[in-house]
Structure 1
Amino acid sequence: MSRWFKCLAVILTLSLALGACSRVGLAYRNLDVIIPWTLSDYLDMNGEQKGWFNERLKEHLSWHCTTQLPGYLDWLDRLQTMVENNQVTDEALQARTQEAKEAIAQTARAITPSAIVLLQGLDDKQVAEMNEAFAKDQRKRQEEYLKPSLDQQIKDRTRRMEKRLDDWLGPLSSTQKQRVVAWSTALGDQNTQWIANRVHWQKQFSAAVAQRHSPEFAQRIETLLVNRESLWTPAYRQAFAATEAQARSLFVDLMAESTPAQRERLLKKIEGVRKDFKDLKCLKAAQQN
């Protein structure tokens, strides 16, 4: 499923947002793309919960579309200007990254009260099913990302990135391909830290939901959904900072080696995302008011 907003939540540079994030209109109709966790993957809501959820969804999407999307268009303008003026630098990418993180955090804060109410209303069976979904998610990711040898993990990561880049930039040159290989190699066993931290977060989330009727529950969920970085393991915090730096360096180098045709393709892709935003009826209505 397309997840532009989820990509915004974790965007490090445009290179990490490439792929699976271009069909904004489709994604925007699902609440799970504007909060930092995928609700429908882990909860089986009953009829009453779904009815309440759908009503809250309408309210959140209306708020988000009218108050937040204009800022996203401005963000895309700044991104597009960077490419047009050949100013894709580490400093500029850090600025765009911070802006994206702040945008998604603001949305997460707005959504969290609804998440708290929904979670407090879960019965024990639903909680058990959620925990089993977490366990299934862990097994699946460990099978896909940790079971292969480190050499194979690096090759798989290279292949995934080349595929994304091919979509956004077009065919890569041999020099660009070599740079992607170097990037993937430099990340080493990053998969291990990423999945370990994901499991760490899920365990804390499960523990919080187990105490969903306690006075501290709301604050705990807000921390888990809005301030997730404060709960990262020290090892992952260090690994994430290194991953961000490697991603920025990769994209700076790729753009330095890019051809006019590649830059034109990238600008068209960015414009396509902008059009998806502008075509949303809720944004058009807000702009007419």
Structure 2
Amino acid sequence: MSCWFKRVALLFIISLALGACSRVGLAYRNLDVIIPWTLGDYLDMSGEQKGWFNERLKEHLSWHCTTQLPGYLDWLDRLQAMVEANQVTDEALKTRTQEAKQAIAQTAKEITPSAIQLLKGLDDQQVAEMNEAFAKDQRKRQEEYLKPSLAQQIKERSERMNKRLNDWLGPLSPTQQQRVSAWSNALGDQNQQWIANRAHWQNQFSAAVAQRQSAEFPQRIETLLVNRESLWTPAYRQAYDNTEAQARSLLVDLMAESTPEQRQRLLKKIEGVRKDFNDLKCLKAAKQS
């Protein structure tokens, strides 16, 4: 159970999202590393823009750490209790998933005004660079995820999931490996819908940024960042619902087949995430205030 949830407004989201899962400390302690790493994929900011972004990012990280992370610890408690009681059910996973979505939406809403301000200040060359970065992203994902045959896509998806699960549970039994293969088969051509919807979102984002001085721009960006689901293609909405259901079913079955050693390893990984959160100075300060 690694991150269940997964672009220039999302620059903020990307930076903040690194605070989840295994890179907690990096997001809060090494802003000088994160900022060029994330922004370099989208556009070349001026020195003034970088300075402004640094300050805004620090403010958002402080807000996130002091107001949001305590809730993440509670979420981890609930997740840990499920594993300890060996009660990983579809209904419980639905609830944990909805809680995580709400947390992501709250963070997206908080940082949207800063994202709007940054985007309004882009010049035409920066917008062109951003659009080219989107196009490059689309070509890369099509090459990696769509060019292989469907059988190969299914095989590679299964291999990626096995690798993630091995990290969190340890080696899978033959029965568990077969279940992962069945999960990957059940998703079929999900790659096609996922990448098509991603391109659909990026195209709408580019169209909005092209009109960044219009009165409607802030609302369009808020919709793109906070209410992304309202812009999904019908085909992707159906594929996404199926993907979520298949993921829950997979996790329920894997945990039902899990050994005490696997559950202990998972609990240790969850505890590691908790420790990363608790070790953050900003969180310690929030607890003491």
TM-score (norm 1): 0.91
Report the CA distance shift for 1:206/1:218 in structure 2 as closer, same or farther (over 3 A). Answer: same
Alignment correspondent of 1:73? 73
**AA at the equivalent of 2:288:** Q
SS at match of 2:139: helix
Q: Distance in 1 between matches of 2:22 and 2:173?
A: 24
| Partner Cα separation in structure 2 for residue 175 and residue 39 of structure 1 | 43
Q: Residues 155, 237 of structure 1: CA spacing in aligned structure 2 closer, same or farther, 3 A cutoff?
A: same
Q: Which residue of 2 aligns with 1:277?
A: 277
AA in 1 matched with 2:188: G
Contact kept, 8 Å, 1:8 with 1:101, in 2: the verdict is no
Output the CA distance in 2 between the equivalents of 1:42 and 1:259: 44
The verdict on how the C-alpha distance between 1:164 and 1:8 changes in structure 2, with shifts beyond 3 A counting, is closer
1:22 aligned onto 2:22: yes
Alpha-carbon distance change, 79 to 256 in structure 1, aligned in 2, over 3 angstroms:
same
Aligned residue number for residue 57 of structure 1: 57
Aligned match of 1:259: 259
Q: Deviations over 1:98-155 (max 9, x none)?
A: 0000001001000000000000000000000000000000000000000000000000
Is this contact kept in 2: 1:108–1:225, CA < 8 A? yes
Is the Cα contact below 8 Å between 1:65 and 1:283 reproduced in 2? yes
Q: Which secondary structure does the structure 1 equivalent of 2:22 belong to?
A: coil
Q: Secondary structure at the match of 2:61?
A: helix
1:95 aligns to what?
A: 95
Runs of at least 5 residues in structure 1 that lack an aligned partner in the other structure: 11-19
Name 1:109's counterpart in structure 2: 109
SS of 1:42's partner is coil
TM-superposed CA distance for 1:96, in Å, is 0.2
Q: Deviations over 1:4-34 (max 9, x none)?
A: 8xx4644xxxxxxxxx932211134578xx9
1:186 maps to which residue? 186
Question: Which residues in structure 2 correspond to 1:1-289 (within 5 Å)?
Answer: 7=3, 9-10=5-6, 21-29=21-29, 39-289=39-289
1:40–1:78 Cα change, 3 Å? farther
For residues 28 and 191 of structure 1, what CA distance do their matches in structure 2 show?
Answer: 33
3-state DSSP of counterpart to 1:215: coil
Identity across the alignment (%): 85
**Root mean square deviation, CA, Å:** 1.6
- Counterparts of 1:141 and 1:79, CA distance in 2: 32
Secondary structure class of the residue paired with 2:41: helix
Q: CA 1:9–1:187 in 2, change beyond 3 Å: closer, same or farther?
A: closer
Counterpart contact for 1:8–1:104, Cα < 8 Å: no
Query: SS at 1:58's partner residue?
Result: helix
Amino acid at match of 1:279: D
Give 1:40 deviation, angstroms.
Answer: 4.3
CA deviation vs aligned residue, 1:172-231 (integer Å, no higher than 9, x gap): 000000000000000000000000000000000000000000000000000000100000
Look up the equivalent residue of 1:214 and give its one-letter code. S
Structure 1 residues 202 and 103: alpha-carbon distance in aligned structure 2, compared to 1, 3 A threshold? same
Q: Say which SS state the counterpart of residue 65 (structure 2) adopts.
A: helix
Q: Residue 21 of structure 2: SS of its match in structure 1?
A: coil
Counterpart amino acid of residue 279 in structure 2: D
Structure 2 portions without partners, runs of 5+: 7-19
Q: Is the 8 A contact 1:187 1:243 kept in 2?
A: yes
Q: Aligned residues, how many?
A: 270
